[in-house]
Amino acid sequence: MPSVSYYMELVEQAWKLSDDARELAKKAKAENRELTIQETLDKVFLPSGLVDIEKTRANSGSPPKVFLKSPYGLQFRTEYKDWIPFRHGDVQFDD
């Protein structure tokens, strides 16, 4: 079974994507334009290679969710217009 540090690394990957999406939103705001969800997907999430595309297509919903290949993902918070990590799968630590 994976260790706690393994899962922490996966959480860190999700937070990095969240931070990268936030930076892209700041750039769009500085350009006086609204960042679309599709633009975030195309420029941040999909190029990362971490997105489970099929699971995301099948389960995205509203507000949108992006499922990573790990037990984690990102969910769009409409009220803040940002993305935060969430856990969608089981984690099992070494004893």
| pTM, entire model | 0.87
Nearest C-alpha neighbor of 21 from the set 88, 62, 80: 80
| Over residues 42-60, mean pLDDT | 95
Decide if pLDDT at 94 tops 70.
no
pLDDT of residue 93: 66
Whether 36 is covered by a domain: the verdict is yes
Residue 90 has pLDDT above 90, yes or no: no
Any domain includes 94: no
- Residue 6: predicted pLDDT: 84
Residue type, 12: E
> In this predicted structure, what is the pLDDT of residue 95?
55
Q: Which domain holds residue 68?
A: 4-87
Phi/psi of residue 61, nearest 5 degrees: 75, -165
For residue 65, the SS3 value is: strand
Q: How many domains does the chain divide into?
A: 1
In-domain check, residue 95: no
| Cα torsion angle, 81, 52, 43, 39, sign | negative
